[in-house]
Amino acid sequence: MAVELSVVVTLYNEEDNVAPLLKKIHESLTGLSYEVMLVDDGSTDATVSRIRENMHERIVLVLLNNNYGQTAAMAAGIDQASGNFIATIDGDLQNDPSDIPVMLEKLKAENWDVVAGNRKNRKDGLFFRKIPSKIANAMIRQLSNVHIHDYGCTLKVFRKEIAKNLGLYGELHRFIPILAVIQGGKITQVDVKHHPRIHGKSKYGMGRTLKVMSDLVLMVFFKKYFKRPIHFFGPLGIFSFLTGTAISLYLLVLKILGHDIWGRPVLILSITLLLAGIQFLTFGIIAELIMRTYYESQQKQTYTIREVIRGTA
């Protein structure tokens, strides 16, 4: 059966949220042709049992072999989705499914490729969630020039052509707006509701900050230099090489004049300037390009699906 909308929900140890979430999705999407892609990311509690208890013809359960993380789980759900439009939503009931029809209508009526949610009144802790999030969002906007207020909101609606070509791997789900823009997608945002977590424990913590910063460096490179990397590495390489050469010539003059230059820190600096930029930066980018080639050109995935179960009437 052809469906208009696929709702992708990633779940990890959310046993108490499954039933109320499915009820809320059904109430919110009445009148739409939809399916719900529930991706279990290796839960160790009764999440899968709760899903099986609530299975019906609109539900597709995707069981992953292990806990691969939210990005891989989201990619698995998107790949299995059959709808012309795809919505992504967290499984913790903090996102509200009732926002999806409004976002879908905006996407279709105004011809957007992605409509992203902006949690206007977040129900999270101030110091450990809100403040770090505001700082991270401001930094991402400034460096990427993609002006979305809330990069951390999972609630988004896509055209399937964009969603299925995002190239999600690692922990890049929080940079989906940038990945969409890299594809040439048009993106906008709408304010959405946000609720406090009632059941279960948050999977987020301060430890992800360094990972976000690392991924941000990668996203800035993809956004600005992926198609012309020489514009990034060229100036760095030329500056490093010329500076190292100048220092080396200075040391050569000293050597000709009879001075002993061996063991001087400036000699080590000149060698470092000549080699460090080329070696470290080039190695890093080559490794990243090799990984993208490995996954994309060979159509490999970052996850393994154990079973796909489709509900019946």
Encode pLDDT of 42-93 as tens digits. Answer: 999 999 999 999 998 999 999 999 999 889 999 999 999 999 999 999 988 8
| pLDDT tens, position by position, 84-105 | 999 999 988 899 999 999 999 9
d(CA 285, CA 31): 48
Are 182 and 286 found together in one domain? no
d(CA 41, CA 266): 53
Give the total number of structural domains in the chain: 2
Question: Helix (H, G, I), strand (E, B), or coil: what is residue 209?
Answer: helix
Are 256 and 115 found together in one domain? no
Over residues 285-303, the mean pLDDT reads 69
Tokens of 263: 């063991």
d(CA 206, CA 5): 34
d(CA 299, CA 292): 10
Are 110 and 32 found together in one domain? yes
The reply to whether 193 falls in a domain is yes
DSSP letter string over 278-309? IIIIHHHHHHHHHHHHHHHTTT--S--EEEEE
Are 203 and 267 found together in one domain? no
Residues 6+ apart with CB under 8 A from 40: 11, 12, 47, 48, 51, 61, 62, 63, 64
H/E run at residue 236 = helix 230-256
**53 vs 244 pLDDT, higher one:** 53
The reply to whether 96 falls in a domain is yes
Positions of E strands within the chain: 5-11, 34-40, 59-64, 85-90, 114-119, 156-159, 187-192, 305-310
Give pLDDT, residue 202. Answer: 59
Are 166 and 239 found together in one domain? no
The reply to whether 218 falls in a domain is no
Rg of the chain (C-alpha set): 24
Handedness of CA 103, 107, 109, 112 (dihedral sign): positive
Q: Is-above-0.75 flag for pTM?
A: no
- List the beta bridge partners of residue 192: 119
User: What is the extent of the structural domain holding 172?
Assistant: 5-208+304-310
CB 13 within 8 A of CB 43: yes
Are 98 and 56 found together in one domain? yes
pLDDT at 131 over 70: no
Give pLDDT, residue 155. Answer: 95
Helix and strand numbers, DSSP H then E, in the chain? 11, 8
Of these ranges, 64-78, 134-148, 158-172, 288-302, the one predicted with the greatest mean pLDDT is 64-78
The reply to whether 245 falls in a domain is yes
* Backbone angle region of 309, left / alpha / beta, with phi > 0 → left and psi within -120 to 50 → alpha: beta
d(CA 182, CA 203): 28
Residues 6+ apart with CB under 8 A from 191: 117, 118, 120
Instruction: Centre a 10 Å sphere on the Cβ of residue 232 and count the other Cβ atoms it contains.
Output: 16
CATH code: domain of residue 86? 3.90.550.10
The reply to whether 29 falls in a domain is yes
Residue type, 47: T
Per-residue pLDDT band for 209 (boundaries 50, 70, 90) equals low
**10 vs 299 pLDDT, higher one:** 10
Are 247 and 186 found together in one domain? no
Are 234 and 197 found together in one domain? no
Residues 6+ apart with CB under 8 A from 275: none
CB 99 within 8 A of CB 121: no
CB 86 within 8 A of CB 160: yes
